[in-house]
Chain A
Amino acid sequence: MNKKFWKSGDPFVWLTGVALMFSLLMIAGLLYLIAAKGLGFFWPADIAEIKLKDGNMMLGEITGHERIRGMGALDKDEVAIFRTQLKIGNRDLYGLDFKWVDDDQIVTTTYPKFAVVLERREWGNMFGFIKEVSGSGTIICTGNEECWPVLAGLIPQYTRIADEIKSIEKGAIGGINMKIEDLRLDIKGLRSEGASQEKISKVEAEIKEQESLYKEQEEKLSSLYQDFNKEKFVMTSIDGREKEMPVGAVVKAYRPNAMNWLQKIGLYASNVWAFVSEDPREANTEGGVFPAIFGTILMVFLMSIVVLPFGVLAALYLREYAKQGVLVRIVRICVNNLAGVPSIVFGVFAVGFFIYGLGSTMDGIFFKEALPNPTFGTGGILWASLTLALLTVPVVIVATEEGLAAVPKEIRDGSLALGATKFETTWKIVIPSAMPAILTGLILAIARATGEVAPLMITGVVKLAPQLPIDGYFPYMHLERKFMHLGFHIYDVGFQSPNVEAAKPMVFTTALLLILIVVALNMTAIIVRNRLRKKYTTSAV
């Protein structure tokens, strides 16, 4: 290399370019991988039938292919050995969902056209062939081809029954149970107050009434369950094992190898919809994430209600009302720095102050009869939202202050000169001009809150919440309830799940969803800021 090469400085310039491009490539790679893995999860992939050298047959979805031992170039005499990962499903028969096969053991790989995939309520997917369908003891049909239309026709019927069962269990019975529990607590409260026996027996009568209602629903339920198990069918796995199950056990049945692209896209769309609208199944490794989406949004919403007025008020004080001096400068630096304080610290504060402090006190005053079971003295959506509000209030303050500082002094002076009071100037002139900044602050706060997990883990997020924090029973919004959260769902399913391998695709999908929400919020912040900025700069002129 000649002297000029180094002297030009170009090599160093390009090396800084490597740093930049490498960072950009990492972002692109990460987003691409999560998108690819997350979106691929819903695709009804073809079912492969693999014949092995030892005569065994396997049926399943091909999910991976890799080289055994090490990566990179080989020696001359070495031969690369590859292996294939197969999702074989049938957890109840095999015990494992996934299996690795060495490629040199495979004799043939075919795609049998009529292989059936069942998405089940329990035990995960099943891959196999239908042997027979029977209803109340009599065989309706036999053989895979003949039975397919029968089974496919029966499933929607059973889905309807399943929905009904769910609505009774969760809705009616859940409501009755809640009422009975409330009445029991009432009795306890009355007893401790020393109320008359008359009052108590009145409440007891109400409990009796509710209990008879409960019986009614239970009977309805048991008859539904009988219907639910009426028709049964037998599946044969590829290795000849048979499994009998009621039609009700199936959520969805399809034959991917016999489907065309359009059908597959249709199924894909319905899978995506199911993912965002259904409850999780099988320890969160299957089904949807609706409660987590709901919990995340509700929590962020509650947080916004708290953080916006308080943040704006504090910023107004700092910028408009406080005497600008050393003290305010120090306070400003402190508020700035609070945005950099680890979120877990806020979580710890919330545990000590909200849960054990405020919550326990509230329990002692308002929910005495439920003690020793804590009502507000344990994690819940209210505390989690307040924690995030504390965490994000500096973001709103800083953004609002910036917005207030950007409002030209002339505008204020003009307003004051026309006789408006300070409050009127602030309220009608300054705040509207600073609105873009305030909104940006709020959106950035929301974006930060959506992605935050650590403080929530200790203030009320759970892996599986039996009820949503909002339902049809008084007082409709249950702020003391624990809730599910997308970010925690990722942590829980990815790291605490007993079947991580099976849950992985689901985690990628959840991660994708979370990224989409957060990125969309950030983009909105940027767009809103630009739009409003334009609007106000033009109107100010």
Chain B
Amino acid sequence: MTPQVKLKEFRQVSSGVKRRKLVDRIATVIVTIGGVAIILCIIAILVFIGLETVPLWQGVKSELASSFFLKESPDLASYSLDTSDGVEFPFLAAGTEEYKQIGFIVTNDGTAVFLSLKDGSTVKKVQLPGLEGKKLTSAFVTQNNVIYSFGTEDGNILSVRTNYKITFEGDKRIITPDIAEGELLNVGSSPLVKIAYEQDDDGEGSAAAGYTSDGELLFVATEQQKSLLGGGEKKVLTHNITAGLDDAKVTAMELDHFMRNLFVGTDSGKILHWDISDKESPELLEAIDASVNSHTAITALGFLIGDNSLLVGDAAGNVSVWFEAQDMTSPRGKVFQKIHTLPPLELPVTNITSSERDRGFIASDNGGNISLYHASSEQKLADFKTDGGSVSTLAFAPKANGIIAVDRNGKLYDWDIDNPHPETNFKTLFGKVWYEGYSKPEYVWQSTGGTDDFEPKFSLTPLAYGTLKGAIYALLFAIPLSIFGAICVSQFMHPALRNTIKPVIEIMAALPSVVLGFFAGLWLAPIIEKIIPAVFTLPIVLTLFTLAMVFIWQYTPRSIKGKFKEGSELFLLVPVILLAVVVTLWLNAPVEKFIFGGDYKSWFYNVLGLQYDQRNSLIVGFAMGFAVIPIIFTISEDALTSVPKHLAAGSLALGANKWQTAIRVILPTASPGIFSAVMIGLGRAIGETMIVLMATGNTPIMDWSFFNGFRALSANIAVEIPEAPHGGTLYRVLFLAALLLFFFTFIVNTAAEIVRQRLRKKFGQL
């Protein structure tokens, strides 16, 4: 070979090596990057689910979109803002529409000015009809942003309706505001200082209360009288109800949309409650001392959405929510009481206005503080402050995404609010909340309801309770069967037998849970319902039969005994179990008769107060237990088998019998393994979805009874997430539920894993 050829070969080889090295390096990079990326991706699942729930805890985002002095508008410049010598503040009411483009101001001479909220330029100016030059003395918002009513100096109440017509010019939205005349109702002859007014949806009837400057409280109702000929005339009923005031002065009034309740707040700190459902004779139901003897005047009243909860603000700045809760001790069966106390404002409350979307409301005080509250969760969500002192008019935007306020300096503020999840905090998600219509604070999960003013109730506690209940019943069934089974297979059976039995039980783990759920719900549940007494007697009968079998076995001649491979004699139990089952079924009717008086359902109901549902926790216990048995069995069997043989040999050599060895030597040594088996079984039972979905009634109740169902976190997610709007509160709460499940199973499994690794080390040292 010539040196040249050698060099060529060498070059070839070296270039081959180079290429191979390059490939190797590339592969290393790919595997490393790929591997790390995949593992990060898996872990990112947790992060993603967590991030989706973050907005639930985030507070309100708000900013001042615009503010300007109303005086700058030429149409409003002429009004005097000086209220020192008893002159009323000229701007009585303010409001806005859905898109928060246009706002309006109603002045005391009956002019409504619609202006652009961006810069205060006038869009339209309308003279309220039917006033004939009379001044307005008071205002009342009937239906937020739609119907406004005003009291006049000659004792009338005028209601008007705002309309916004929306047209499009290309992509540009044009809003044309207008005012439609409502009703002009005569209440008295003196100026009205405070008014309350409501009308029903078809405009046929209305109710109003007016407090005049000379201290009279008048209640007026109109009804459409229907005559046979079809035409009708309005009947007006006027009642002077001043006597009920007990010489106090009226400081606030509120009337509900159903025209059933009139609430009057007085300067003596009382809330007077009239039942006005009978328009012929309003009845003073109760006079509640809301200030508990401190004579703090009630300065503002309002209703939450649905007009059932009364919002009360007083001169000390306290804000509270009241409604009628069921109470059987009172003669009416319900008591009007203070339910929620909210964080107070600093100075006397001047205005309270509620949201049309949720159970949030805003309240303002004399010092120009405005707070955004949520009633059920009893929290203050945000604070706002004007720079011109007391807030004179306050309005909540229709989509609850903004606040319009006018202060004493005539400055208008337009705040934008981003408040997607006002109803969730730690307390509403996990604690007891007193919801409207409930007689006491409770854990409630009820995510959807029929009406617009339905309040979603998101307590995860009953769901977590259901999850635990199902898991515990499943473990109650599975633990004895699987651990005793594992002891039996690992300690008392020939290895050849073990090698056939183990795969069979492992196949059980592979059974799809939907099959088990279906089987439990449709086949097992109706059968168990018929044989409940037998279900309870089976363990006893089975034990007795087994003991009898053991007795027979001990007297069996050795010649027969010897024919069985170690442990295979236990297969003799199969006919014994079958016989025991047959006998228990036969005993079903007698047991039901002698113990349960012939009908176990009514016995349980009368004696223990338990109601029997067909799909109940017992069924779930069986089905989910069935799913968990193979898991616990396999892991504990592994732990028991891997206990070093010399321990058992030593124990047996010292004269202990097989059972003593198993229970006193093997079991304690393997107990950490068994613990981790139970933990992993628990993890599986907690996350199981289909079985709990199919074999329970899915009612979110909190009750340990094994005769009724529950709703588990997992099943709840499966049922509700398809209907949860993306990004909504329900959607995020369901993500939170998933996060809980994730954490719970992760912790349980990690604990099990650590215990197992320790155990392995321990066995290595033995």
Contacts and interface: CB of A to CB of B under 8 A. Distances in A.
A binds B: yes
Interface of A: 1, 4-5, 7-27, 30, 33-34, 70-75, 310, 313-314, 316-318, 320-322, 331, 333-338, 340-349, 351-353, 356, 390, 393-394, 421-424, 426-427, 447, 450-454, 457-458, 487-488, 490-491, 494-495, 500, 504, 507, 511, 514-515, 518-519, 522, 526
B510 A519 contact: yes
B589 A314 contact: no
Interface string B579-592: 00000011111111
A532 B531 CA distance: 49
Provide the main secondary structure of the chain A interface: helix
Interface stretch (B174-182, B328-336, B376-384, B484-492): B484-492
23 contacts: A5-B551, A13-B659, A15-B543, A19-B481, A21-B574, A21-B577, A24-B574, A25-B577, A25-B578, A27-B507, A33-B523, A74-B589, A316-B35, A341-B687, A343-B689, A349-B49, A353-B48, A423-B28, A458-B718, A491-B690, A494-B694, A514-B515, A522-B510
Interface in B11-47: 20-21, 23-24, 27-28, 31-32, 34-36, 38-39, 42-43, 45
B530 A71 contact: yes
B38 A314 contact: yes
Contacts of B714: 342, 344, 454
Contacts of B738: 344-345, 348-349
Contacts of B487: 16
A69 to B, nearest CB: 9
Contact of A340 (B505, B517, B726, B745): B745
A348 B733 CA distance: 11
B210 interface: no
Contacts of B683: 340
Contacts of A24: 501, 504-505, 574
A74 B485 CA distance: 36
A18 B34 contact: no
A167 B479 CA distance: 55
Main secondary structure of the interface of B (DSSP, over half): helix
A340 B753 CA distance: 11
A22 B342 CA distance: 59
B546 A18 contact: yes
Nearest to B600: A70
B586 A314 contact: no
A16 B746 CA distance: 31
Contacts of A342: 686-689, 714, 741-742, 745
A43 B534 CA distance: 33
Q: Which 5 pairs between the two chains have the least Cβ-Cβ distance?
A: A317-B35, A342-B687, A9-B659, A451-B512, A72-B588
Interface string B542-564: 11001101110110000000000
B141 interface: no
Interface of B: 20-21, 23-24, 27-28, 31-32, 34-36, 38-39, 42-43, 45, 48-49, 52, 480-485, 487-489, 492, 501, 503-508, 510-515, 517-519, 521-523, 530-531, 534, 542-543, 546-547, 549-551, 553-554, 570-571, 573-574, 577-578, 585-593, 626, 629, 633, 657-660, 663, 680, 683-684, 686-690, 693-694, 714, 717-718, 721-722, 726, 734-735, 738, 741-742, 745-746, 748-750, 753-754
Contact of B35 (A322, A349, A491): A322
Contact of B518 (A18, A452, A511): A511
Given A19-B480, A23-B482, A422-B24, A507 B32 contact: no
A202 B45 CA distance: 48
A165 B554 CA distance: 74
B88 to A, nearest CB: 51
B529 to A, nearest CB: 11
A279 B154 CA distance: 78
Contact of A487 (B42, B512, B549): B512
Contacts of B45: 345-346, 349, 353, 390
A478 B103 CA distance: 51
Nearest to B686: A342
Contacts of A452: 512
A424 B745 contact: no
B512 A314 contact: no
A13 B572 CA distance: 13
Contact of B570 (A21, A336, A341, A518): A21
Contacts of A317: 31-32, 34-36, 38-39
Contacts of A73: 586-590
A522 B518 contact: no
Given A19-B484, A24-B501, A351-B721, A313 B31 contact: yes
Nearest to B24: A421
Given A21-B577, A313-B38, A314-B34, A340 B512 contact: no
Contacts of A526: 503
B550 A11 contact: yes
A352 B49 contact: yes
A519 B515 CA distance: 13
Contacts of A343: 687, 689
A12 B80 CA distance: 98
Contact of A518 (B510, B523, B588): B510
B741 A447 contact: no
Given A8-B657, A450-B512, 11 more contacts: A12-B663, A70-B530, A314-B35, A317-B31, A320-B31, A454-B714, A487-B690, A491-B518, A494-B522, A514-B515, A519-B510
Contact of A341 (B518, B543, B746): B746
B335 to A, nearest CB: 42
Nearest to B571: A21
Nearest to A11: B550
Given A344-B689, A457-B718, A15 B42 contact: no
B328 to A, nearest CB: 39
Nearest to A26: B626
A239 to B, nearest CB: 30
B632 to A, nearest CB: 11
B488 A519 contact: no
Nearest to B539: A18
Given A21-B574, A344-B718, A490-B518, A453 B31 contact: no
A162 to B, nearest CB: 32
Nearest to A488: B514
B729 to A, nearest CB: 15
Contact of A356 (B20, B484, B573, B726): B726
Contact of A71 (B551, B588, B742, B749): B588
Given A13-B492, A423-B23, A458-B722, A495 B694 contact: yes
Given A18-B542, A353-B48, A522-B510, A313 B34 contact: yes
A16 B745 contact: no
A72 B717 contact: no
Contact of B735 (A4, A352, A519): A352
Given A515-B515, A522-B510, A5 B717 contact: no
A310 B659 CA distance: 48
Given A10-B554, A71-B589, A451 B514 contact: yes
Contacts of B551: 1, 5
Most chain B CB neighbours (cut-off 10 Å) among A316, A338, A447:
A338
A8 B722 CA distance: 60
Most buried by A among B36, B484, B585, B590: B484
B126 to A, nearest CB: 38
A124 B457 CA distance: 44
A17 B488 contact: yes
Contacts of B504: 24, 27
Contacts of B519: 30, 33-34, 511
Nearest to B719: A457
Contacts of B687: 340-345
